[in-house]
Amino acid sequence: MRYYSLNGHTALVDFREATLNGQAPDRGLYFPEQIPALDPDLLKQTRYLSKAELSFRLLKPFVGSAIEDAALFRIISETIAFPVPMVPVTGLIQSLELFHGPTLAFKDVGARFMSRALGYFSGLSENSTTVLVATSGDTGSAVAAGFSGVEGVNVIILYPKGKVSSVQEKQLTTCGANIKTFAVAGSFDDCQQMVKDAFMDQELRRRYRLTSANSINVARWLPQQLYYWFAWQQWQEEGSIPVMSVPSGNFGNIAAGLLAQKMGLPVTRFIAACNSNDTVPVYLQTGKYQPGHAQATLSNAMDVSNPSNFVRIQALLGQSPAAISKWLTAYRISDATTKDTIRSVYQQYQYILDPHAAVAYAALSQYLETHPHARGVLLGTADPVKFPEVVEAAIGRQLTMPDKLLPLMQKPSQFTDLPPLFQALKEQMMSEQI
């Protein structure tokens, strides 16, 4: 498999180079030259295969010969070594719980796969790799955990100070060792722009072998398609095909789902469930793509006004709002609706949603109101315990902190404050070998 830049100005590369580069030299995102067609027999066998075997057969075409088969199977097996249950919420809605990994968030899958792939590539080279990543919350948590202690790989994380939950901040700032964290006095969009500028800076490129761990990196993005296949493995509604409602911020997760659908996964429609950062819902309604400043919301991991992965959705579905809308519906959900949804779902069904899953639930509910014969799956992307202030206020009781989080909350945080300026980041990176 070879990958090209969606900006169209660079040479084709294999999976290894796409992973190590993170972003193409022309600032474009890498995209597979061809989308593999699913073997019809594999679709029939899906529900009878182990998660590891299914995942290996799905990802192998994208990796090609860049990783030996035995090593790839081991990497995948370690990546998904935790449950991904689908839990009924109502008669019409089920929740695919993606938060049973080490950092209690869906991004564990992509981060674990990428860390192990980079570890494999580092073992083939004498040069160390520096992972540079911007996070609105859970990406950084998963990356810090996934890469902690990985030989030959150092990690630099930028997050918007004061705009992540207390649990997320502890996960971002307590690893130490090969993990360096910067708290940026700005938004996620500011952090993301600083990272993009770093990749284009020739002085930094000469000093560091940089790659990204955001979903712009194919090694982070591609494994996310596996969730949707795990949902299909567990789908029990005979004669129907699910609607998938996805909490959407940088749009990597839903783009991966659309990729899986292009390969042959049965999905009726995708719902991009957005918070007040509604660039995509407005675009699909008006045809005007006008990112603004990211707004802080209760669902902070989705506080992205200019989603990087939307270009991949355009590559998959087409360039016009009409073409995209054939398969994708987008909704804007307010903070008030988010809180009301957490409260009402708990009261009616005794199921606890985190703020991001609540956005997905509310959007899916709106869709089902006008499509009474549809059945849906929402992606539960984080454990509610990661957002105790919001969830506890909504349900009226205290959440139980998982045992594995208790030692974490007692650790001292280690971070460096930065203004939202690329030059400040560059000075930090040039002043010392990180």
Sign of the CA dihedral running 395, 104, 53, 13: positive
Cβ neighbors of 73 (< 8 A, separation 6 or more) are 52, 56
C-alpha torsion 66→71→73→74, nearest 10: -140
Closest CA to 233 of 87, 40, 54: 54
What is residue 130's DSSP assignment? E
pLDDT of residue 90: 97
Residue for token pair 């699913």: 38
- What φ, ψ does residue 295 adopt, rounded to 5°? -100, 135
What's the rounded Cα separation, in Å, for the pair 168 and 181? 13
What angle in degrees, to the nearest 10, is found between the helix axes of 225-234 and 51-63?
150
Distance CA 111, CA 131 (A): 11
Q: What does the angle CA 384 – CA 195 – CA 1 come to, to the nearest 5 degrees?
A: 85
On whether the CB atoms of residues 383 and 99 are closer than 8 A, the answer is yes
In the chain, the amino acid numbered 422 is F
d(CA 434, CA 155): 8
Query: What's the CATH class of domain 83-105+221-395?
Result: alpha beta
Q: How far apart are CA 160 and CA 395, in angstroms?
A: 28
CA–CA distance, 79 with 106 (Å, rounded to integer)? 12
pLDDT at 1: 93
Give the DSSP per-residue string, 138-189: HHHHHHHHHHTT-TTEEEEEEEETTSS-HHHHHHHHS--TTEEEEEESS-HH
- For residue 31, the SS3 value is strand
Closest CA to 258 of 353, 330, 332, 338: 330
From first to last of the 434 residues of the chain, give the pLDDT tens digit: 999 999 988 889 999 999 998 889 888 999 999 999 888 889 889 989 999 999 999 999 999 999 999 999 999 999 999 999 999 999 999 999 999 998 899 989 999 999 899 888 876 666 788 889 888 777 778 888 888 877 788 899 999 998 888 888 888 888 878 899 999 999 888 998 999 899 889 999 889 888 888 788 999 999 999 999 999 999 988 889 999 999 999 999 999 999 999 999 999 999 999 999 999 999 999 999 999 888 989 998 899 999 999 999 999 999 999 999 999 999 999 999 999 999 999 999 999 999 999 999 999 999 999 998 999 999 999 999 989 999 999 999 999 988 878 888 888 888 999 999 999 999 999 987 66
Residue 301 is predicted with a pLDDT of: 87
Per-domain boundaries in the chain = 83-105+221-395
